[in-house]
Amino acid sequence: MKYEGYLIDLDGTMYSGNTVIDGAIDFIDRLNQNGIPYVFLTNNATKTQWEAAQKLIDMGFDIHPETLYTSAMATAAYLETEQPGARVHVIGSESLKSTLADSGFTLADSDVDYVVMGLDTAINYEKLSLGARLIAGGAKFISTNPDRKFPTEAGLVPGNGALVSVLVNTTDVEPVTIGKPQGIILEAAVSTLGLPKDRVLLVGDNYDTDIRTGLDNGVDTLHVNTGVTSGEAVKKQARQPEYMIDHLKEWSVE
């Protein structure tokens, strides 16, 4: 089946750490050559839209910043519908903080409406303790994404979901999760393509996030065996992606 638009994961699909995955640039070039629209749909909330795009450009991808849709952007959009101008405490990168601040939210450490948690590579006990106290005091809890791990050149490392579990275990409060596999981020990304779901293909390497996003929300999926979930592990799942390949160079967009 020929798809008219693509949703494409980044970590483990386009690159691993700072290394381009074999066939990824060629895949994007073929989409460009055929005039097929795409959106990079990433659970990575550590970068702004421009920063995420610049990483791809620096790696040799011929893309535009507007093709990036991050879980940080989806979090800001969600908060705008729930409580515009809310006071928010952020555990995460400076880029996540700037994304929320630029969307009109007040960043604060007390009397907050929400605690938003994204991957923080400088996480420490003090940050976790403050977050737990704010949630226990009544702040609503939001996780930008549930990824428990992600691939780097050195191997798999802890993701945001692994760190969020500390606050969940401490507070007994489950967060509203924005990123894949939730429909919140999918619906926002599909709307940017302007296509019905049955004409869109979601491409990713992580069964628990990428593939489940499509399975749970009515979008066909292509699992590529270059990242988190091996092909053998995918085959053991009760629900299967529509397609599975070892490398993106195996996939025809025509």
Report the C-alpha gap between 146 and 206 in whole angstroms. Answer: 12
For the record, the structure tokens of 120 come out as: 């923080």
The rounded percent of the chain whose pLDDT value lies above 90 is 87
Instruction: Report whether pLDDT(155) > 90.
Output: no
Q: What is the pLDDT of residues 126-148, one digit of tens each?
A: 999 999 999 999 999 999 999 88
Domains and their CATH numbers in the chain: 5-71+180-250 (3.40.50.1000), 84-177 (3.40.50.1000)
- Cis geometry, peptide bond prior to residue 181 (ω within 30 degrees of 0): yes
The model's pTM is: 0.87
What string of DSSP letters covers 184-219?
A: HHHHHHHHHHTS-GGGEEEEES-IIIIIHHHHHHT-
Q: What is the pLDDT of residues 75-125, one digit of tens each?
A: 999 999 999 999 999 999 999 999 999 999 999 999 999 999 999 999 999
pLDDT computed for residue 174 by the predictor? 97
**In the chain, what is the greatest distance between 2 CA atoms, to the nearest angstrom?**
54
The secondary structure element, H or E, covering residue 223 is strand 220-224
| Helix (H/G/I), strand (E/B), else coil: 99 | helix
Report the C-alpha gap between 35 and 39 in whole angstroms. Answer: 13
Question: What's the mean pLDDT when you consider all of the chain?
Answer: 95
For the record, the structure tokens of 242 come out as: 């529509």
165 pLDDT tier (thresholds 50, 70, 90): very high
Instruction: Report whether pLDDT(152) > 90.
Output: no
